[in-house]
Amino acid sequence: MAIKSRHCCTCTSFIFLLLPLLLQFYSAKSDLQLNYYARSCPNAEEIIKQQVIKLYNKHGNTAVSWVRNLFHDCIVKSCDASLLLETVNGIESEQKSDRSFGMRNFKYVKTIKEALEAECPMTVSCADIVSLSARDGIVLLGGPRIEMKTGRKDSKGSYLWEVENSIPNHNDSIKSVLSRFQSIGIDAQGTVALLGAHSVGRVHCVNLVHRLYPTVDPTLDPDYAKYLKMRCPSPDPNPEAVLYSRNDRETPMIIDNMYYKNLLKHKGLLMIDQQLTSDPTTSTFVEKMAADNGYFHDQFARAVMLLSENNPLTGDEGEIRKDCRYVNTH
């Protein structure tokens, strides 16, 4: 009885030690709410939406950039706009990482922020701009409308040193990718859905050639491999040259299930894409999403919402930056 009692006390002590951490985790998420700016800046979400639409009409690829920004910002520690910080005053930008290769259109975040500052100075966070611009960009790309909460604060620093370990590499094993997403609360089904964002945008040849040279990856469709070799004729492409292939040749600017249909035809661009069909943990979801675009959109919306709520800074943990590129100087 004494041994059982001692074990019970240890267990209870552990729960009490764990409780503050769990409360902190859930309180941060609960501080986010729908229409957070309803009183402080009632037009905030509409201003972001209209700016996203204007930018899309001028530069269609901005919508893809907003989706990629959300992923790169939120998976690295927190959804806190740390990605947007430039290298200055001791801060090392996350944009310097190899994982950020090919990212662009950061300058247009400033356009959105300036429109908000004109209406409601120092009110809407850059972190919420990242999330809401992705939400509105997804709609413009034919994806689902996502009810997204707001109230995030901006970080006071960057996490360049954490980027490599946080953002999966295109050559990583599916096991390690699933593990990474699981660590932020996204299950295998959600991970497969999130990778469906690869249905839009493009992949630079630098990230493709290892599947083409010196020999073609046997998991690639031979005719597709010939096309890719036309797009990427050199085994050692210049990273500065804009040599790329579209992720999806049929519907290159629509977030749809064509991505999964292509995977089943062995037309996945990246190693991580094609591995989805060979791993039993993910292959069933690939088949279901290839067969049902509505199911894919439902799971994509769920996964994006979870990603957008990863460990947000709230209250005094962060700040509202005046310029998304720099922390405030007090």
- Measured CA to CA, the distance from residue 298 to residue 193 in angstroms comes to 9
Q: Which residues are within 8 A (CB) of 199 and not within 5 positions of it... i.e. 6 or more apart?
A: 247, 248, 251, 254, 255, 256, 257, 258, 259
Residue type, 89: N
DSSP string, 53-97: HHHHHH-TTHHHHHHHHHHHHHTTT-SSSGGG--SBTTBPPGGGS
Length of the chain: 330
Place of tokens 């910002």: 73
- Measured CA to CA, the distance from residue 274 to residue 264 in angstroms comes to 8
Q: Which residues are within 8 A (CB) of 97 and not within 5 positions of it... i.e. 6 or more apart?
A: 160, 163, 164, 167
CA nearest neighbour of 162 among 27, 22, 311, 270: 311
DSSP state of 169: P
CA nearest neighbour of 302 among 139, 193, 151: 193
Q: Catalytic residues, which ones?
A: 72
CA 253, 258, 260, 261 torsion-angle sign: negative
Residue type, 128: D
